[in-house]
Chains A and B, each alone.
Chain A
Amino acid sequence: MSKILKVQNLSKTYRSGEHDLNVLNNVSFEVSRGETFAIVGPSGSGKTTLLGLCAGLDTTDAGEIWLCDRNLFDLDEDGRARLRNENVGFVFQDFQLLPTLTALENVIVPLELRGIRNASEQGRELLVKVGLEDRSGHYPSQLSGGEQQRVALARAFANKPSILFADEPTGNLDDETGTKIENLLFELNKEQGTALVIVTHDLDLAQKTDKSIRLRSGKIEETVG
């Protein structure tokens, strides 16, 4: 199975006041196409930093990241943005919907960025899939947390991404809603063959993935699967 994400010897240091903070230290792993992958670890272990680097939201200090066969190091910010638009989906803990756009408008942003003409039609289909067809004209502030996360899921899958990054996707939801979102996430993964990279505290969720790594103080402590 070909690799959609390859991380080799990745390190990242942040400056905090007078001190350098080594957040990631020599991290390497791979994710295959269609595979589900979890990154777990305690707070401050570097999970979110790793996710951001893998998705090209930030630049590395050392090491290499190959996403969809492109070395992120070779791309500038706009190049990484285009790569994300074509291949990557996102789900965030705090949903990150654009507050000034309706549910439907939020879902179709990635499609419109690609210049797709019948974006609204596709967007409505995606909202049907997540069970929110009757909420398409609502603004995020008019939706519950679970509904917002479903809109975020629909948006994440809108451009049929090769890989989806999810940062604590159920962290802000109650158990019942969280379970529904998890199921939806895995259903869409199977349906579209999208690789899933999930950052989570939730070990139950991590166990549902094909592979996982446990981070501690910026280093891989354990690899499962």
Chain B
Amino acid sequence: MGKNNTGFSWLLKMAWRDGKASYGKLLLFVFSITLGVAAVVSVHSFSRLLKENIASQSKALLGADYVIESNKPVNDRVMGIMDSLGGADAREINFSSMAAFPGHDGTKLVEVRGVDDGFPFYGELETKPVSAADDFGTGKALVDATTMLQFNLKVGDSIKLGAVTLPIGGALENVPGSTSVFGAIAPPVLIPFRYIEATGLVQTGSRIDYKYYFQSDEGQDLTLLNETLEPVLDAEDADLDTHLSEARRLGRRYENFGKFLNLVGFIALLLGCVGIASGMGIYVQMKVKSIAVLKCLGATKRQSYLIFFVQIACMGIIGGLLGTTLAYFLQQLFPLLLGDLLPVEVGITLSFQSIVLGISLGLAMSILFALYPLMRTLYVSPLQTLRVVQEPQSRSKWATTAVGLGIVLFVFCFSLWLLGDLMRSLFFVLGLLVVFLVLTGIARLFMGMLKKFFPHSWSFIPRQSLRNLFRPQNQTLVLVLSIGIGTFLISTLYFTKDMLLEKAAIEDRANSANMILMDIQSQQVEAVSHTIEASGIPVIDKIPIVTMRVATLNGKPVEAIRKDTTSQVSRWILNHEFRVTYRDSLIQSEQITEGEWIGKVDSDTNVPISVSNSFAEMAKVTVGDPVVFNVQGRLMNTIVKSVREVDWNRLQPNFSVVFPAGVLEKAPQFGVMTTRTKDDLGSAQLQQQLVAQFPNVSILDLKRILNLLEDILGKIGWVINFMAFFSIFVGVAVLMGAIYSSKHQRVKQSALLRTLGAQGRQILQMIAIEYAILGFLGAFMGVVLAVLASSLLAYMLFDTAFAPSWIPFAIILPAITLLVFALGVGNSIEVIRNSPLSVLKKEKE
């Protein structure tokens, strides 16, 4: 007896023959894979393209090959280094300041950038009119285009910056070195470098950046230059950034967001695969007789298994290809959704890498998730052709475990590839497992409880509906899973966004400041205070600020720590110029976690200070450790007496280091004041008055920042919601697949019921109740899990109390229930259209 001689081509042929007759069901599986793959590939490809575009446009983003910058005037040593590099090709001094527009009402916080003519060397100043960029050196200012529109400014109008008034040469649409997010708070104004001094705005306490731009020689190794000069410049409180490091930094900022979106897309794909697993289960059930016949005719177990394996593999490949194509079109939407949050224009292309990713993902996921239901084909007895045979209850435990482990391992590896972080990947997989297990547990518990406490006294229709929820091959588990996960995602994202906005809004609602005045010189404090109070507005806080640097930590000088390669102390601590305040009490945004708060002292020896926990962590100090500060030339010995936890998210001045009252009062200082204006008009009037009298004072309108934050979160939320809705789309596809797959069974059941006298209306009622329960259970569990997850996030990440918004309960929950109900009933109408005789006859045939 020889082997049977079929090859792969026969398997393909059989898979095709069988598939073309079942294409409706298979198409729904393909649809699920397509949507899932599209979600992952679109985000992944877009992130990659964004990174590539940032890298290719890095010079234009910086405007030069490299820049040396410092937040204080550079010393002779740094000058010497720059001279050895051939001298800077362009200089820039920039700071935030209030701008007024003579002849127009209103003032605005702007980022003043005084730059040498010739900058940028790469990219360009995009202005309107275009000639304004060329005329820049003649002594005109270029003002951010949105600000021009906002104040109805025209070319030829004036802008007043401190003591200088310059004609406006044109509207600035894009300039290297200005980010759109910061630009929305303080839009850029470019003025020729030579006017900076004359503004009179470079004063004590002003936060000023000094930049020196360089063009490199051809072939110059910028990485090597960076490695060589970085430690030297570091010691002089200066920094070197090349266009390459700038691109990396910018890339990283968007990478995290991309990674998060990738996970959202991946969940959509997983959801699709759960649908495939469930759909395949029903599909294989329907094929049992055919498999038995094939075995009867001489097909081996392997052959009958492989026919369906080939089918699912082909579906995976087709789904992967279609998903990649859909991803290409979806990517075109991202720039529209994200708008000016993107640092560069992204050209969308369909890359070979995306195609490979899409196909491999479609193939791997569909095969992995179909393996378990496909195993059933191995256990189908050929005896099924003669009579109904009970299949063995349990499949091979080894194979089942291997498939389960394979799925978890693949999901973990893919997450690791997406996130590049072992712990985060582990948490992601664990979190996912918990959500899957909870939803599975709830679905099973629900079915068990229903069986145990079945309401036998109810009337026939609701009883029959409830029975459908736990009958063999029911859809309860798969629908609760898919609806639950989709709802969970959308609700969690909603709660998180809400939490961020709510947290900011609390500050706005309470009787706290909505305007912060910065850079007030000590001699101006009384006058500024008087101006505010004269407008009938209270001064809420007067915060004195003294700048200082760390000189020694635990007795070790900063220089020695820098040279110590084993030191864990952060460079930021060693280089940063700290803005320190002094006061006698704690404020709302802080609380002591270690040590004891000391609010007032009489002597300046071993001053008891309080540091934030992030300072303590980065400086590697704790309560009792000595720290010496260099307070503008004078060394001051302090002891860390307490460590505070500071809520930096609050829109109010917070400090890493706080001195007690009684020590710094006589040190050179400047001030910050906070106030609360009644309305927009009052705010505008006060700003105008202050700018006119105190041009060096910068004003932060918190309401504007809140609006901006809302706008940014809104845009990001759009993209996240867009991806989360993919999960719902996939859920809908899974739902339709489940409904379609079980239609045969429903048609038969309905025909039998109608033969026994049930009316079409009654059958529809049964179906309607069943789907309403399934929709509600899935969506409700999704929202409940989202509340739990958001509470965890609130506790662990945002450190705030979480009060769930009513919107997911009042809108998302009923909307999803209604969607499931409508899809279920809509797809089942055909069930009652068939005449009972035709169904039963067909069944007999």
Choose among A81, A109, A141, A159 the residue that contacts B382 (Cβ–Cβ < 8 A).
A81
8 A-B pairs closest in CB distance: A85-B298, A115-B5, A100-B21, A78-B300, A100-B18, A57-B382, A57-B383, A84-B298
B381: A residues at CB distance < 8 A: 57-58
Known: A81-B298, A155-B297. A100 touches B17 (CB 8 A): yes
Choose among B290, B297, B387, B842 the residue that contacts A85 (Cβ–Cβ < 8 A).
B297
Contact B386 A167 (CB under 8 A): yes
User: Does residue A82 face the partner (Cβ distance < 8 Å to B)?
Assistant: yes
User: Does residue A70 face the partner (Cβ distance < 8 Å to B)?
Assistant: yes
Known: A57-B382, A58-B381, A100-B290. A110 touches B21 (CB 8 A): no
What's the least CB distance linking A203 to chain B, in Å?
21
Contact A82 B298 (CB under 8 A): yes
Contact A57 B386 (CB under 8 A): yes
Contact A141 B842 (CB under 8 A): yes
What's the least CB distance linking A102 to chain B, in Å?
8
B21: A residues at CB distance < 8 A: 99-101, 139
Choose among A84, A101, A155 the residue that contacts B17 (Cβ–Cβ < 8 A).
A101
A78: B residues at CB distance < 8 A: 300-302
Type the 1/0 row for A135-154, where 1 means its CB is closer than 8 Å to any CB of B.
Answer: 00001110001001000000
What's the least CB distance linking B378 to chain A, in Å?
10
User: Does residue A22 face the partner (Cβ distance < 8 Å to B)?
Assistant: no
Contact A52 B290 (CB under 8 A): no
Contact B386 A112 (CB under 8 A): no
What residue of chain B has the Cβ atom nearest to residue A140's Cβ?
B845
What residue of chain B has the Cβ atom nearest to residue A97's Cβ?
B293
User: Does residue B260 face the partner (Cβ distance < 8 Å to A)?
Assistant: no
What residue of chain B has the Cβ atom nearest to residue A15's Cβ?
B390
**Bound complex: CA of A143 vs CA of B801, how far in Å?**
69
Interface residues of A in 112-161 (CB under 8 A from B): 112-115, 139-141, 145, 148, 155, 159
B17: A residues at CB distance < 8 A: 100-102, 105
Choose among B1, B10, B290, B303 the residue that contacts A86 (Cβ–Cβ < 8 A).
B1
Interface residues of B in 1-45 (CB under 8 A from A): 1-7, 10, 13-14, 17-18, 20-22
Choose among A48, A55, A100, A113 the residue that contacts B4 (Cβ–Cβ < 8 A).
A113
What residue of chain B has the Cβ atom nearest to residue A88's Cβ?
B298
Choose among B2, B3, B385 the residue that contacts A57 (Cβ–Cβ < 8 A).
B385
A residues contacting B by CB (< 8 A) are 48, 51-52, 55, 57-58, 70, 77-79, 81-86, 88, 90, 92, 96-102, 105, 109-110, 112-115, 139-141, 145, 148, 155, 159, 167
Contact B7 A115 (CB under 8 A): yes
Q: Looking at A55, A99, A145, which has the most chain B CB atoms within 10 Å of its CB?
A: A99
**Bound complex: CA of A82 vs CA of B3, how far in Å?**
7
Q: Looking at A81, A99, A112, which has the most chain B CB atoms within 10 Å of its CB?
A: A81
What's the least CB distance linking B66 to chain A, in Å?
67
What's the least CB distance linking A137 to chain B, in Å?
12
User: Does residue B296 face the partner (Cβ distance < 8 Å to A)?
Assistant: yes
Given contacts A58-B383, A98-B293, 16 further A-B contacts (CB under 8 A): A51-B386, A52-B383, A58-B381, A81-B382, A82-B1, A82-B4, A90-B296, A98-B290, A99-B290, A100-B290, A109-B294, A113-B5, A113-B303, A139-B21, A155-B297, A159-B298
B382: A residues at CB distance < 8 A: 57, 81
What's the least CB distance linking A153 to chain B, in Å?
14
B845: A residues at CB distance < 8 A: 140-141, 145, 148
User: Does residue B108 face the partner (Cβ distance < 8 Å to A)?
Assistant: no
B10: A residues at CB distance < 8 A: 112-113, 115
Choose among A85, A96, A110 the residue that contacts B385 (Cβ–Cβ < 8 A).
A96
**Bound complex: CA of A102 vs CA of B294, how far in Å?**
15
Q: Looking at A52, A70, A167, which has the most chain B CB atoms within 10 Å of its CB?
A: A52
Type the 1/0 row for B266-309, where 1 means its CB is closer than 8 Å to any CB of A.
Answer: 00000000000000000000000110111111111111000000
26 cross-chain CB contacts under 8 A: A48-B387, A51-B386, A57-B296, A57-B381, A57-B383, A77-B295, A78-B300, A79-B1, A81-B4, A82-B1, A82-B300, A84-B298, A85-B4, A85-B297, A86-B4, A90-B297, A92-B385, A98-B18, A100-B18, A101-B21, A105-B17, A112-B10, A114-B4, A115-B5, A115-B6, A115-B7
Choose among A48, A51, A113 the residue that contacts B297 (Cβ–Cβ < 8 A).
A113
What's the least CB distance linking B501 to chain A, in Å?
55
Contact A109 B297 (CB under 8 A): yes
Contact A113 B289 (CB under 8 A): no
A81: B residues at CB distance < 8 A: 4, 295, 298-301, 382
B387: A residues at CB distance < 8 A: 48, 52
A141: B residues at CB distance < 8 A: 842, 845
**Bound complex: CA of A57 vs CA of B291, how far in Å?**
13
A92: B residues at CB distance < 8 A: 385-386
Choose among A55, A113, A155 the residue that contacts B299 (Cβ–Cβ < 8 A).
A113
Contact A114 B294 (CB under 8 A): no
Q: Looking at B5, B301, B386, B842, which has the most chain A CB atoms within 10 Å of its CB?
A: B386
What's the least CB distance linking B315 to chain A, in Å?
15
B4: A residues at CB distance < 8 A: 81-82, 85-86, 113-115
Contact B296 A113 (CB under 8 A): no
A98: B residues at CB distance < 8 A: 18, 290, 293-294
**Bound complex: CA of A155 vs CA of B296, how far in Å?**
12
Known: A90-B296, A139-B21. A77 touches B6 (CB 8 A): no
A139: B residues at CB distance < 8 A: 21
Known: A79-B1, A115-B5. A110 touches B298 (CB 8 A): yes
**Bound complex: CA of A198 vs CA of B382, how far in Å?**
18
What residue of chain B has the Cβ atom nearest to residue A80's Cβ?
B382
**Bound complex: CA of A52 vs CA of B385, how far in Å?**
9
What residue of chain A has the Cβ atom nearest to residue B292's Cβ?
A96
Contact A96 B293 (CB under 8 A): yes
What's the least CB distance linking B492 to chain A, in Å?
43
B386: A residues at CB distance < 8 A: 48, 51-52, 57, 92, 167
What's the least CB distance linking B6 to chain A, in Å?
6
A148: B residues at CB distance < 8 A: 845
Contact A110 B297 (CB under 8 A): yes
**Bound complex: CA of A27 vs CA of B467, how far in Å?**
45
A48: B residues at CB distance < 8 A: 386-387
**Bound complex: CA of A110 vs CA of B386, how far in Å?**
18
A105: B residues at CB distance < 8 A: 17
**Bound complex: CA of A96 vs CA of B297, how far in Å?**
11
Contact A90 B5 (CB under 8 A): no
Choose among B7, B296, B301, B303 the residue that contacts A84 (Cβ–Cβ < 8 A).
B296
What's the least CB distance linking B517 to chain A, in Å?
78
What's the least CB distance linking A79 to chain B, in Å?
7
**Bound complex: CA of A79 vs CA of B2, how far in Å?**
10
Choose among A57, A77, A86, A110 the residue that contacts B301 (Cβ–Cβ < 8 A).
A77
B385: A residues at CB distance < 8 A: 57, 90, 92, 96
Known: A57-B386, A96-B293, A101-B21. A86 touches B6 (CB 8 A): no
What's the least CB distance linking A50 to chain B, in Å?
11
**Bound complex: CA of A78 vs CA of B303, how far in Å?**
10
What residue of chain B has the Cβ atom nearest to residue A51's Cβ?
B386
**Bound complex: CA of A101 vs CA of B386, how far in Å?**
20
**Bound complex: CA of A139 vs CA of B20, how far in Å?**
12
What residue of chain B has the Cβ atom nearest to residue A53's Cβ?
B383
A102: B residues at CB distance < 8 A: 17
What's the least CB distance linking A144 to chain B, in Å?
9
What residue of chain A has the Cβ atom nearest to residue B13's Cβ?
A112
Choose among B5, B13, B20, B300 the residue that contacts A114 (Cβ–Cβ < 8 A).
B5
Type the 1/0 row for B625-649, where 1 means its CB is closer than 8 Å to any CB of A.
Answer: 0000000000000000000000000
**Bound complex: CA of A102 vs CA of B6, how far in Å?**
20
What's the least CB distance linking B220 to chain A, in Å?
68
**Bound complex: CA of A100 vs CA of B13, how far in Å?**
12
What residue of chain B has the Cβ atom nearest to residue A168's Cβ?
B386
What residue of chain A has the Cβ atom nearest to residue B303's Cβ?
A113
What's the least CB distance linking A126 to chain B, in Å?
14
What residue of chain A has the Cβ atom nearest to residue B296's Cβ?
A90
**Bound complex: CA of A70 vs CA of B1, how far in Å?**
9
Known: A70-B1, A112-B10. A84 touches B297 (CB 8 A): yes
